[in-house]
Structure 1
Amino acid sequence: MMLERQRILVVDDERINRKLLSELLEVHHDVVVAKSGEQALERMQADTGIDLILLDVMMPGMSGHDVLRRLKGNDATKDVPVIFITSLNSVDDEEIGLDLGAADYIIKPFHPGIVRLRVENHLRFVRQRKMLETLAGRDCLTEIDNRRRFEEVLEREWRRAGRGTGPMSLAILDVDYFKQYNDHYGHARGDQALKAVAKALSGGPHRSTDFVARYGGEEFVMLFPGTGAAGARELAETVRRAVETLCIPHEYSAIAPHLTVSIGGATSEDFQAPALALVEAADSMLYRAKAEGRNRVVWLA
């Protein structure tokens, strides 16, 4: 079976280096280029399919170190491996890069064979990690089910509900002011906070058919098959209170001195529409919950 082509972002202010690296790698991979740190961040924001970044350290304006700090500070990009390619060749320089979170360090002038082999090694790790996450259906950070697994369960339960098993309710939960939490407390504590929220969610629903998963970033989802609006809303409220009682300090929240969550939910008894309609309805209620002040549950019956 042919492997899917992986995507590499090459970031270097020197055109000749971008050209050499692109020609070296584009035989087996899709290559995207950027000529500055600012442009690299724009590329990452626009393209969520980047698997690996080759990043120059010494660039005008934003340095490679600054770019890496920004990447590691963003939940959407923090897990993308970065290989520094640089003329800085002291042990101290390498230590700085690795301490910032770089996956590897290649010294200029680079040897094409070495670059190719190291790139292949890191892309293999990326491919294996994605395969394991997919097969396991688990989120590596929180150790609860992931979005892919949720989508599978939702489709299955939606079909079952269509055969007359009763209503279905769904809630989407968002951690309030989580970016501010990460910015001021650091991402290690941010990860710990997400784990604590996941544990609070997992302790909420008690029936074997109820389901919780990490939806992405600081969002989680709860599915309640066979549960009407009143019961599901009360379950969601129980989860909201459970997160509050964790009393995780959050000095930079605009609504409370501790970590809180906003929850939007919806209930459906019409299973002729696609299951995505229920997700969209819950998401619109989450938007309302945040617009109305956060740290609350808003439900659409």
Structure 2
Amino acid sequence: MGVTQRMSAGAEMEEARASILIVDDQKLNLDILVNLLEECYEISVAKSGEGALRAVENELPDLILLDVVMPGLDGHEVCRRLQSDPRTQQVPIIFITAKSSVESEAQGLELGAVDYIAKPFNPSVVKARVANHVRLKLYQDRLEELNVRDPLTGIANRRRFDSYLDHEWRSAIRSGAPLSLLMMDLDYFKPYNDNYGHPEGDECLKRVAKALVASVDRSIDLVARYGGEEFAAVLPGTSEEGALQVAENMRLAIRNLGIAHGHSPVADCVTLSIGVGTTIVTRQGQQMGMMERVDAALYRAKGEGRDCVVSCVSEAGD
């Protein structure tokens, strides 16, 4: 769990709980760095470049201390690969090396490293540089979190939705797993705002957002405010049957809130219409095509009386 996630869970704002991955093929170096840092940070180690890449696949650290000279994949190649992956390119990397030439440092910095620590280690320098970069990463993560959160409801915003869909789309191409998408719209929300006032409308949106997020039970499922009274969800690895069940759970969850809506021709409470789509993504597939079909399903749901779930007909590979 990274710094930002811990912050969201209510941990104190401090770098003491940051996670650090130390990568070095020499046990002595690993022992020195672990002993220096384990009191203040969550430490994991890898003894090769290949091991480092496997480690970040399992869990993203907040900082990586990476040896430059290793057999197999050296530090420069590991850094290059991490920087080329959108999922890992924001993790700061500090090179640890016995090389002290200007050319070597320049090469590492050009690859994306944020700093160098020279061998043999100076304990005070190691601790200070690690603390500085962890602190900077903490604030960058907090700013990024604010940037992808809807300020009213606190859930993911449209920007986060777009980036997450793009990431999961590419993952689905590699895995061959199904990808499901939900588009949702509160029924007759304009009359709600017009008659109850915008402050009540805002409270309604907050309660709806909370109920929608509570309707998914996997951390990989993303629920976002798409705009206004529109919401959306990305459900990786979810079949059409599973997506329809999630959508129905969401529809019922909003009804069960019992938010009075005396100006809706659908019901005496706030209700939700949902369009659902599922696809097996191919390299020729287009996200926009799927989005358009799911959006069309949402409009069919509105045409069929609202407060219902409608699935779109997905074209092969979308």
Shorter-chain TM band: 0.5 to 0.7
Aligned residue identity for 1:195: K
* Distance 1:254-1:133 versus aligned 2 partners, 3 A rule: farther
Aligned residue number for residue 193 of structure 1 = 204
Aligned residue number for residue 87 of structure 1 = none
How is 1:251-290 mapped onto 2 (pairs within 5 angstroms)?
A: 251-271=262-282, 272-290=284-302
Aligned residue identity for 1:290: K
Aligned residue identity for 2:278: T
Cα deviations by residue, 1:111-170 (Å, 9 ceiling, x for unpaired): xxxxxxxxxxxxxxxxxxxxx688530000000000001100000000000012411000
Q: Does 2:312 align with 1:300?
A: yes
Equivalent residues of 1:169, 1:265 under 8 A apart: yes
Equivalent residues of 1:285, 1:300 under 8 A apart: yes
Aligned residue number for residue 49 of structure 1 = none
Q: Does 2:184 align with 1:173?
A: yes
Aligned residue identity for 2:204: A
How is 1:135-174 mapped onto 2 (pairs within 5 angstroms)?
A: 136-174=147-185
Aligned residue identity for 1:264: G
Equivalent residues of 2:182, 2:274 under 8 A apart: yes
Aligned residues: 171
Equivalent residues of 1:134, 1:148 under 8 A apart: no
Select the residue among 222, 231, 244 that pairs with 1:220: 231
Equivalent residues of 1:167, 1:268 under 8 A apart: yes
Equivalent residues of 2:172, 2:281 under 8 A apart: no
Equivalent residues of 1:133, 1:139 under 8 A apart: no
Write the distance in 2 (CA, Å) between the matches of 1:183 and 1:166: 44
Aligned residue identity for 1:299: S
Write the distance in 2 (CA, Å) between the matches of 1:228 and 1:295: 22
Write the distance in 2 (CA, Å) between the matches of 1:204 and 1:221: 13
Equivalent residues of 2:187, 2:273 under 8 A apart: yes
Equivalent residues of 2:178, 2:279 under 8 A apart: yes
Equivalent residues of 2:179, 2:281 under 8 A apart: no
Write the distance in 1 (CA, Å) between the matches of 2:236 and 2:176: 8
Deviation at 1:208, TM superposition (A): 1.7
SS of the aligned residue for 1:193 comes to helix
SS of the aligned residue for 1:238 comes to helix
Deviation at 1:237, TM superposition (A): 0.3
Write the distance in 2 (CA, Å) between the matches of 1:280 and 1:234: 21
Equivalent residues of 2:149, 2:160 under 8 A apart: yes
Deviation at 1:196, TM superposition (A): 0.6
Aligned residue identity for 1:268: T
* Distance 1:133-1:252 versus aligned 2 partners, 3 A rule: farther
SS of the aligned residue for 1:205 comes to coil
Write the distance in 2 (CA, Å) between the matches of 1:172 and 1:149: 15
Runs of 4+ aligned structure 1 residues displaced above 3 Å come to 132-135
SS of the aligned residue for 2:246 comes to helix
Which runs of 5 or more residues in structure 2 are unaligned?
1-142, 314-318
Write the distance in 2 (CA, Å) between the matches of 1:183 and 1:245: 23
RMSD after superposition = 1.6
Equivalent residues of 1:251, 1:258 under 8 A apart: yes
How is 1:1-301 mapped onto 2 (pairs within 5 angstroms)?
A: 136-271=147-282, 272-301=284-313
SS of the aligned residue for 1:245 comes to helix
Task: Give the fraction of aligned pairs with identical amino acids, expressed as a percent.
Answer: 51
Write the distance in 1 (CA, Å) between the matches of 2:234 and 2:257: 23
Aligned residue identity for 2:308: R
Write the distance in 1 (CA, Å) between the matches of 2:146 and 2:185: 26
Write the distance in 1 (CA, Å) between the matches of 2:303 and 2:183: 15
Equivalent residues of 2:296, 2:312 under 8 A apart: no
Question: Normalised by the size of structure 1, how large is the TM-score?
Answer: 0.55
* Distance 1:257-1:133 versus aligned 2 partners, 3 A rule: farther
SS of the aligned residue for 1:172 comes to strand
Deviation at 1:281, TM superposition (A): 1.2
Equivalent residues of 1:169, 1:223 under 8 A apart: yes
Write the distance in 2 (CA, Å) between the matches of 1:156 and 1:247: 36
